[in-house]
Every structure is written in structure tokens, then in C-alpha cells.
Copies of this chain bind each other. A is one copy, B any other.
């Protein structure tokens, strides 16, 4: 899960915990599926299973929104869909711009999950003049020169950055200057933004690295680690002193220092 908020450390927004907000879309998806199957009500137990969470957690989450359930029965599906949608701000239309129409940007433009949730792709923007005018996902790609005008004309407040890492900060600055206050960043960089601008980051390679960590751990449980002695390219610290002592929290850290 690519996660990561920036700024506003843990500001419990309007009394709703951040962790709960992050789960609301999950519930909404499960509820939408139930709604399409014309299921009238669900218990917290059933819905929790469908969303992949604990039922107590789900009930506590809903309790932050108000008392929308009926004891002995459960939750009314349609009503809950509406309440969560409203809470998340999905009853209104959110125009979005995607900057950087490479492989990933094109994939995002074609992604159906946006439109179905109240997000409308207002424009696709790329710095490459050769891309300008080319249709992607039914929209003509605009050149970066038009960025400010597009944002202002469409009242865009959410921007998606899918550029290479090197261009991300510059694009971010222009988006913010033009009035964007929420950014979804796919570029592998830490963006710095002024106060009041929200940034969320999705980093594909980080997710894989976390999986690799757990995978390595699983593999290491059976076979004791001998991989630490296989390489020879291990650099040594440049500092003088005896920094070769190891004080790992466990005793299983090999005391060898790569030469």
C-alpha cells in the first residue's frame, strides 16, 4: 500500500480520525457492490468481511459519522452509500489534471475507477511538444504551457503527477502556484509544498521493497542466513574510530563487518 501523508501531522479532521477516513473508500466500494446486487441491509460482520477489516473497527469507524445502523438489523446499504459518499465529498464533481503522459499517465487516464467516483479528468498535460494534440483516453494531450490556464479555467484543485522524478518538483510548484491544493504524486521524489497543500504519494518500487523484506524474512526462517557472507562489494565506513561494533537489538545480527 503506497501510503504517506505530508504536512498536518495527525490533525483529526472534523473529529474523524485519519485512519478512519482512509478506510471509508474501502467500505464504500463494498457497499456499492452490495447495492448493485440489491442487498437492502448488511450487518457490521458481513460488511467487515467484505471490506477485509475487523467488525469492531468498522462499527467504531461508522460511529464517527453518526448512528446510522439499526440494532438487531444492521446498516441500510443505500443510505450508508449516500452518507459515506457525502462525507468523502464524492457527491460533487472533482476536476483533475494528470501531468506527465507516459506509460503510467496514460494508464491513469484510462483508469475507470476515477470517473465512477466523481472524478473527472479535466486535462492531460505533457511537456513533450510531440505529444501535444495526440488523443489519449479520448482526450487531446495539452502542452505544459497551458497548465495554468487549464487549472484556472476548470477550477481544478486536485493534480496528479506522473512525470519523471526530475520534473516532479517543478511541476508541483506550478500546480500549487496555479491554485491546486491536493496532489497525488507518483514520481519517486519527496515533494515540498507550502502549508495547506496535501500531498499523497504512491510509490511502486517502495511497495515491492517492503514485500522483499518480508519475503527475505520468510526465507530466512528456515535457512539460517549465510547470504551475508556471499558478496565482496561491501563498503566500509570512512570514519576512523572503532565503529565496527554491532549493537543490534537482537543477538542474531552477524558481528562481521564487510571489509
Cα(A110)–Cα(B246), bound, Å = 40
A13 close to B106 (CB less than 8 A): no
Binary flags per residue of A37-59, CB closer than 8 Å to B gives 1, else 0: 00011000000001110000000
Binary flags per residue of A16-36, CB closer than 8 Å to B gives 1, else 0: 000001101110111000000
Name the contact of A217 in the complex, choosing from B14, B94, B219, B247 (C-beta under 8 A). B14
Query: Which 9 A-B pairs rank lowest in CB-CB distance, beginning with the nearest?
Result: A3-B3, A1-B3, A89-B216, A113-B205, A1-B4, A103-B107, A78-B235, A2-B2, A52-B190
Name the contact of A157 in the complex, choosing from B117, B207, B215 (C-beta under 8 A). B215
Interface centre among A181, A192, A249, by most chain B C-beta atoms within 10 angstroms, is A249
A89 vs chain B, min Cβ distance (A): 3
Tell me what chain A mostly uses at the interface: helix, strand, loop, or mixed: mixed
Q: Which residue in chain B gives the minimum CB-CB distance to A191?
A: B52
Contacts of A106 in B (CB 8 A): 103, 107
A226 vs chain B, min Cβ distance (A): 12
Contacts of A239 in B (CB 8 A): 41, 70, 73, 76
B250 close to A15 (CB less than 8 A): yes
Contacts of A104 in B (CB 8 A): 104, 107, 111
Cα(A15)–Cα(B248), bound, Å = 9
A212 close to B103 (CB less than 8 A): no
Binary flags per residue of A53-97, CB closer than 8 Å to B gives 1, else 0: 000000000001111111001001011011000111111101010
Q: Does A252 contact B (CB under 8 A)?
A: yes
Enumerate chain A interface residues (CB-CB to B < 8 A): 1-6, 13-15, 21-22, 24-26, 28-30, 40-41, 50-52, 64-70, 73, 76, 78-79, 81-82, 86-92, 94, 96, 102-104, 106-108, 110-111, 113-114, 116-119, 157-158, 160, 181-184, 188, 190, 192, 196, 198, 200-219, 227-228, 231, 234-239, 241, 243, 245-250, 252-253, 258
Q: Which residue in chain B gives the minimum CB-CB distance to A227?
A: B92
A12 vs chain B, min Cβ distance (A): 10
Q: How many identical subunits does the complex contain?
A: 2
Quick one: given A76-B239, A204-B202, are A90 and B209 in contact (CB under 8 Å)?
yes
Q: Which residue in chain B gives the minimum CB-CB distance to A257?
A: B79
Contacts of A52 in B (CB 8 A): 6, 190, 192
Quick one: given A13-B213, A14-B250, are A103 and B94 in contact (CB under 8 Å)?
no
A210 close to B249 (CB less than 8 A): no
